[in-house]
Structure 1
Amino acid sequence: MSSHDERRRFQRINFDAPTELRQGERRWPAKLLDLSLKGLLIERPAPWDADLTQDFEAIIKLDDGTSQVRMQVELRHEEEACLGFICLYIDIDSMTHLHRLVELNVADSTEMMRELRELIED
């Protein structure tokens, strides 16, 4: 088990949706690998020329075409093939969509409630 897995408190779900990472005027289409209530993992875009000292905005477009999850995120770990981000800020509409996605993909409702409590207490 990796150190990332040992520290992980929020269950990740595999989710495929059009995703874009933004930083100022820069834009990177990205392949979303998974997400949780607290962050997301994407396949490293090419070319990857971001300013790693600045935050990003992640935009995940949902199936209906009109809904999206928008998060202000910080790069937390970088590997050769993927980038892991932690959520710094998410608006209430995006959180509602994200909560619903996770809820639909987490079989254990008590686990979902634990994650929500931990998110609120952070």
Structure 2
Amino acid sequence: MSDHDERRRFQRIAFDAPTELRQGERRWPVTLLDVSLKGLLIKCPEPWEADLSQDFEAIIHLNDKVTKVKMQVELRHEEPTRLGFICLYIDVDSMSHLHRLVELNVGDSTEMMRELRELIED
């Protein structure tokens, strides 16, 4: 286990859902690799021409086009094939959907409560 994995406080869950990354007028349909209460990891879109000094909006479409998770995100790490984003802002409805998604996949209410406390304390 790497130091990065040991420092991870938010459990990532692999999740496949139609996802879009936006920055101003730019739009990228992206492949979602995983998501947590704190951010997401995506496959790097081609071509990738973004202003890395600006924030992004990530939209994860859940079971239909109506239910979605929207969050303002910042690029935290860039690899040749993957991009990692941290959540800067998420509205209450999106947080409720994300919480439920993570809760269903974590399967441990104690762990879920710990992650929520960590999120609130950040």
How much does 1:97 deviate?
0.2
- Which residue of structure 2 lines up, in the alignment, with residue 88 of structure 1? 88
How much does 1:34 deviate?
0.2
How much does 1:2 deviate?
2.9
TM-score by length of 1: 0.97
Whole-angstrom distance in 1 between the partners of 2:8 and 2:22: 25
Extract unaligned runs of 5+ from structure 1: none
Percent identity (aligned): 81
Report 1:58-77 matches (<5 A).
58-77=58-77
How much does 1:50 deviate?
0.4
Deviations 1:61-93 (A, max 9, x none): 011331100000000000011000000000000
Whole-angstrom distance in 1 between the partners of 2:77 and 2:102: 22
- Which residue of structure 2 lines up, in the alignment, with residue 114 of structure 1? 114
Letter in 2 for 1:90: I
- Which residue of structure 2 lines up, in the alignment, with residue 101 of structure 1? 101
- Which residue of structure 2 lines up, in the alignment, with residue 11 of structure 1? 11
Letter in 1 for 2:118: E
Whole-angstrom distance in 1 between the partners of 2:90 and 2:2: 27
How much does 1:5 deviate?
1.2
- Which residue of structure 1 lines up, in the alignment, with residue 28 of structure 2? 28
How much does 1:3 deviate?
3.6
Deviations 1:5-63 (A, max 9, x none): 12210000010000000000000000000000000000000000000000000000011
Whole-angstrom distance in 2 between the partners of 1:120 and 1:42: 24
Stretches of 4+ aligned residues off by more than 4 angstroms: none
Letter in 2 for 1:13: I
Whole-angstrom distance in 1 between the partners of 2:89 and 2:3: 24
- Which residue of structure 2 lines up, in the alignment, with residue 39 of structure 1? 39
How much does 1:108 deviate?
1.6
Whole-angstrom distance in 2 between the partners of 1:4 and 1:75: 17
Extract unaligned runs of 5+ from structure 2: none
Whole-angstrom distance in 2 between the partners of 1:3 and 1:83: 19
